[in-house]
Amino acid sequence: MGCLVQIRRPADKTCFIPFSLSSPLSSLLSPLSPLSSPLSTLPSPLSRFVSLYRGPCHTHKVQRLNESTSYMFRIQAFNEAGQGPFSTVYTFTTPRSPPAPIKAPRVERVEDLSSVCEVSWEPLLPMKGDPIIYTVQSMMGNSEYKQVRRMRRAVIYVALDGETHHSRYQCVAPHRSHTTG
C-alpha cells in the first residue's frame, strides 16, 4: 500500500516533470537531474500536476514553496492490485512571511540637546513590494515596554525623560505593511 502525491504549481513558474515516478524525491526537485525535464510555462488551465512523492507513508512534507502563493495538491493510493482514483484537488495558499530580524540599533545622544537621542538601524528590503514598518519601544525601569513610534524610516529621534539612566530603549520590531494586489 502506498500513495502518490502530486502538485500543480502556479502557471508563472517553470515545473519539472519526472520521467520516472520511482525516482527519489531529491531528483524530482533538482533542475539538473537527468530524470527530470523542464516544462515550458503554460497558462493556468493547461498546467499539469507534477509528482512529488511516491511511497509508503501517510504524510509528506513539501518544501521550497513561495510565500503567499496558491498550490493545488491531489493524492492517489495504490497497492498490489493497482492504482485508485485521484483525490479531489485541494488548494493550499502559503501564508505571508514575517520580516527577518534586524541587527541591533545604534543609539547616539544628540550633542546640542541633552534630552534627545538618535536611534538608527539598517533598513530591511521590502518583501514582495510590501513596505516594512518599524516599531520602536521604550521601557522605564522595570515597567512594561511602551510603543514610542511606528514608522517606515530607519532612524528616529527620541526625547528622553529626566531619569535617563533608568531608561531602556528597545528597537525595533519590523512589520509588513498590507498592500492589496
Tell which residue, 123, 120, 122, has the closest CA to residue 158. Answer: 120
* 116 touches 108 (CB < 8 A): no
Q: State residue 91's pLDDT score.
A: 92
Q: What's the rounded Cα separation, in Å, for the pair 174 and 151?
A: 9
CATH 2.60.40 domain locations along the chain:
2-93, 106-176
The cell numbers describing 69, all together, are 502563493
| Total residues found in the chain within this entry | 181
Q: State residue 136's pLDDT score.
A: 78
What is the pTM for the complete model shown?
0.50
Q: State residue 99's pLDDT score.
A: 83
Q: What is the pLDDT along the chain (181 residues), one digit of tens a residue?
A: 778 787 887 764 433 333 333 334 333 333 333 333 333 333 344 468 888 888 887 788 888 888 888 999 999 988 888 889 999 999 999 988 888 888 888 888 777 766 777 778 888 877 777 778 888 777 777 778 777 766 666 666 666 555 445 555 555 555 666 554 4
Domain 106-176: CATH architecture, name and number where available? Sandwich (2.60)
- For 2-93, CATH gives 2.60.40
C-alpha pair distances (Å), 140 with each of 94, 110, 148, 151, 172? 40, 20, 12, 22, 17
The cell numbers describing 99, all together, are 520580516
